[in-house]
Amino acid sequence: MKDSYAQIVNSSVGKKVAGALGLPQPVELRRYAPGQDLLNDRKVLVVGGQSADGLAETLLDWNLEVRRHPESRTRYGAIIADFTDAATPADLQNGALAVGAALRSLGTCGRVIVLGRSTDHEDDESSPELVATQKAVEGFMRSLAHEMRKGSTCNLLKLAPELGPEHESVQGPLKFLLSARSAYISGQPLSVDPAKPHTVEADAPVDGKVAVVTGAARGIGEAIVRRLHDDGAELILVDVPAAGEALSKVANSVNGVALQLDITQKDAGSKIAETARKHFGHLDIVIHNAGITRDKMLANMDENKWGSVLAVNLASQLAMNRQLLDSGALGPNPRVVSLASTSGIAGNRGQTNYGASKAGIIGMVSAMAVDFAQAGGTVNAVAPGFIETEMTKAMPTVTREVARRLNSLQQGGKPEDVAQAVGFLASNAAAGINGQTLRVCGQSMVGA
């Protein structure tokens, strides 16, 4: 869907008018293309103490030019601030101000990555000073993300206590957040735990994996299918029989297997497992994308509108996950990714049923993280914000324009942005991320 406003304000005349009137000036985001450089500019500023030395060496191995102190007249593609050693509030000042001194040198669609510590492990006996300090790091990141300009983003990786910034488990998430694959993700924290080392090909991160995508016939589901296909996966595409023609068309275009299936059937997970065994022998990746909306104010909500949304969006996923775990069809490192929504985080008027179902997904991935870890895998969720789809195209013009601008990047995301996040969490690069929900919303002003 075309964003006419963004096109106008990016013209030579439009820039002047928008600047004079103080109007939003969204920048065209740099999005992923095969073979592209990791960053627009290979110069990276790494701020931090001795703990960042190993990270600097890793970045050099990625063919990046590393600076350890801000330099005048230097354009940076990224700034990485290491606060993993910060234990008291006083430990934050030097690093924060060093980032501030370099911000004006950050290039268009640049990246700021903040590294901190996770302090919520069950066996963690962190002091109140450490917990407060590391929570302050998160607050610093979220606020700084609101200050980003020119299409740049800012995100946080919270490392488990035993992980150094250079650890192999950190490299996959760090590379994703630095890359153009994360174009519409900003202001978001991700916790990283130790994981079994995996080799991941940058342009084919799920090469040779077998994936199933529900709700695959159109929209975000189709975008996920095409992303996983381009990234090397073999595919099973699932949708309801009523979408059979569209489903077959998409499946044929990616040499995939089309499975017409109502996911609310009690044995839907078993049928998916059976199909995977028949065609591929096993299943590595499960993407729960299928969902419906039946919007009404709660005072006007009936049993069908409530029950159908909870059945499709939430209960079906719980049942399928259990059946897939019990089926024996899952590979040795299964990855499950569910589509949640910012409506499940912040709520939305007229969507008590939908908001409940999407909040339930966030709870589900958190609760089932142990089950999938025991199976050698992970389960996570992606929560999109305003994404340019046929559904948002049908919104009233003024409502749509306001929704587009209510985020730090001042524009709507694309289905491809959601697909990139799903693809990352489905890959072995995200092996250290489990039970979490990643928002793809440009740091929406709505919700946490």
316-372 pLDDT, tens per residue? 999 999 999 999 999 999 999 999 999 999 998 999 999 999 999 999 999 999 999
Which one from 5, 76, 184, 354 is the annotated catalytic residue?
A: 354
* pTM metric for this prediction: 0.94
| Domains 38-192 and 210-440 are alike in CATH topology | yes
pLDDT at 120: 80
User: Rg (Cα) of the chain, in Å, rounded?
Assistant: 22
Tell me what the pLDDT averaged over the chain comes to.
93
Six-digit token pair at 49?
């103490």
- pLDDT class of 302 with cuts at 50, 70, 90: very high
**pLDDT band, very low/low/confident/very high, at 199 (cuts 50, 70, 90):** confident
Nearest CA-CA partner of 333 in 365, 285, 367 = 285
Q: Is the pLDDT of residue 7 over 80?
A: no
Based on the residue annotation, tell me whether 354 is a catalytic residue of this protein.
yes
In angstroms, rounded to a whole number, what is the distance separating the alpha carbons of residues 49 and 177? 22
* pLDDT at residue 438 tops 60: yes
Q: Give residue 370's Cα distance to chain centre.
A: 21
Tell which residue, 430, 201, 389, 158, has the closest CA to residue 289: 389
Q: What is the pLDDT of residues 213-266, one digit of tens each?
A: 999 999 999 999 999 999 999 999 999 999 999 999 999 999 999 999 999 999
The closest of 282, 275, 280, 250 to 261, measured between CA atoms, is 275
What residues pair up with 286 in beta bridges, in sequence order? 212, 336
- The domain segmentation of the chain, as residue ranges, is 38-192, 210-440
With a CB cutoff of 8 Å and minimum separation 6, the contacts of 64 are 38, 39, 42, 43, 44, 77
**CA dihedral for 256, 30, 203, 192, sign (positive or negative):** negative
The token pair that represents 219 in the structure block: 């929209």
pLDDT at 393: 72
Query: 3-state class of 132 per DSSP?
Result: helix
pLDDT score of 448 more than 60: no
Residue carrying structure tokens 């820039």: 15
CATH architecture of 38-192: 3-Layer(aba) Sandwich (3.40)
Please indicate whether residue 446 or residue 93 has the higher confidence score (pLDDT): 93
Q: State what percent of residues in the chain have pLDDT above 70.
A: 94
Phi, psi at residue 63, to the nearest 5°?
65, 35
The tokens for 274 are 């059976």
Rounded to 5°, the CA angle 37-39-40 comes to 95
**CATH T-level topology, domain 210-440:** Rossmann fold (3.40.50)
Cβ neighbours around 74 below 10 Å, total: 13
